[in-house]
Amino acid sequence: MHWLKKRDLPWSTLLVIVLLASLIVGGSNFRAATGSETYESLKIFTEVLSLVESNYVDVVDPQKLLYGAIRGLLKELDPHTVFMTEEMFREMQVDTKGEFGGLGITISMQNDILTVISPLEDTPAWQVGIKAGDHIIKVDGESTKDMTINDAVKKMRGVPGTSVVITIVRKNFTEPKDFTIVRDIIKLKSVKYRILDEDIGYVRITSFQERTDADLRAALQDIWSGDKGLKGLVLDMRNNPGGLLDQAVKVSGEFLEKDKLVVYTKGRRPNNNTEYTVRRSGARTDYPMVVLVNRGSASASEIVAGALQDWERAIILGTPTFGKGSVQTVIPLEDGSGLRLTTAKYFTPKGRSIQNTGITPDIEVVTATIKAAEVDPRIHVKEKDLEGHLSNETIDEEVDAAEDAAVDAAEQALEEDYQLQRALDLLKSWDIFHKIKSTDTAKADGIN
């Protein structure tokens, strides 16, 4: 190493040396805190960095080297611990606001393969048929084998109206398939709702953003306003990739009583051991409820499903969820970049960790398509279907026809959703089960 003393060191190497010196001399007990092995490894890193900058055949960008080293370090950890450049850090902050330009998919690394966690509903990716679990092996012809999540996101996002080709491998594909997707402004409306079959409330949460709890509260107030005689509620969190932890807690609070435990976290540091309880309970928490989940339900949606399941507040129906049971802390760095670091694991109120296992539904129902039997159209003929029928001057028949078409499309989508149909059937028979249960309880108590 004596030869290093006789030459000028590259600035990035000097930066690392100065940083190490400041940690040691500054009284932070660096050796004790990190261990002698880590300290020696950092010395080797400094030496390699110096050799590369001084002797590599081409001139290298020092920042690129350092960022690459950081990514290599983090790659040894879990796939949710990620270094973000300044640009990616800004985009991440935009995501939680609920609007960005892109395709509409949430991705992760699984076994070093770029994988779709879930497509976001009503986005370009959803419309062309991208599904949860799809493996993305190429983006615009470039292999994703050594591509980071950040790089993949950067390549897939872009100016609305431009297109990108992603190559997908799927279990039932005999060979990889190209999907051409036109980018669009992705406006994430995280809460959608309506009344189904005239007596069941339906709320779909597509992600957990800054305003999800407020939008959910407004939706529930509208659903339960007036005396509609509703028999229950379906909460649909299928293909919900998650989002903000505090929003998962607040959403759970709309269905649980105040002070109920929603989730708790455990990490290496005491400040990462936290219990999250309901601070503000919903206006009503007494109605029958079914929660729909699938393999695309991850993170925050699993927190909600786990809490409602543990407190026996709702029946969970669908297929096992994604299984992301870890908490990430976002840490801004001095140069504008950021670090998303896994700092804890979360547990349901009964102490279950869902890491890698997911939430197991109370009733497992796989996705299926219901094909209605062919019916003689003459059975359902209406007056307006008869040739030469008299017009109704009080309505616009063209508008009426358009509304009928929209209703027919919605009904067809509903009829083809087997999991949702099962949830509706369950809620409609809830009273019967409740009466049977009450009768059995009375008999057990000797009441006749």
Q: Do domains 99-187 and 189-442 have the same CATH topology?
A: no
> What CATH class has 189-442?
alpha beta
b/e sequence 47-73, b meaning 16+ C-beta within 10 Å: eebbeebeeeeeeeebeebeeebeeee
Catalytic residue among 138, 231, 260, 324: 324
Structure tokens at 98: 């609920």
Catalytic, 299? Answer yes
Residue 414, burial from CB neighbour count under 10 angstroms (0-12, 13-18, 19+): middle
Catalytic residue among 213, 215, 236, 310: 310
- C-alpha torsion sign, points 296, 300, 301, 303: positive
Catalytic, 310? Answer yes
Residue 347, burial from CB neighbour count under 10 angstroms (0-12, 13-18, 19+): buried
Q: Which residues, 6 or more positions from 121, have their beta carbon under 8 angstroms from its beta carbon?
A: 204, 206, 239
The residue among 322, 321, 341, 323 whose CA lies nearest residue 331 is: 341
DSSP helix/strand/coil, 289: strand
| Residue 200, H or E segment | strand 200-205
Question: What is the CATH architecture of 99-187?
Answer: Roll (2.30)
Catalytic residue among 118, 252, 297, 299: 299
DSSP helix/strand/coil, 96: helix
How high is the pLDDT of residue 428?
A: 85
Catalytic, 385? Answer no
How high is the pLDDT of residue 373?
A: 43
- In whole angstroms, what is the distance from residue 106 CA to residue 116 CA? 6
How high is the pLDDT of residue 227?
A: 63
Rounded to whole angstroms, what are the CA distances from 45 to 2, 10, 21, 75? 17, 14, 15, 16
- In whole angstroms, what is the distance from residue 123 CA to residue 152 CA? 18
- In whole angstroms, what is the distance from residue 62 CA to residue 46 CA? 13
How high is the pLDDT of residue 315?
A: 96
Per-residue pLDDT for the chain (448 aa), expressed as one digit of tens each?
Answer: 333 333 344 444 444 433 433 333 333 343 444 556 777 778 888 888 889 888 999 988 888 888 888 888 898 899 889 898 887 787 776 655 555 678 988 888 888 899 998 888 788 999 999 998 999 999 999 999 888 887 888 899 888 899 999 999 998 899 999 999 999 987 767 899 999 988 899 999 998 988 899 999 999 999 988 766 788 999 999 999 898 899 999 999 999 999 999 999 999 999 889 999 999 888 888 899 999 999 999 999 999 999 999 999 999 999 999 999 998 888 999 988 999 999 999 999 999 998 989 999 999 998 754 444 444 444 333 334 434 444 444 444 443 444 444 344 444 555 678 899 999 989 988 866 665 545 554 444 444 4
Per-domain boundaries in the chain: 2-60, 99-187, 189-442
Structure tokens at 263: 């989730």
How high is the pLDDT of residue 189?
A: 77
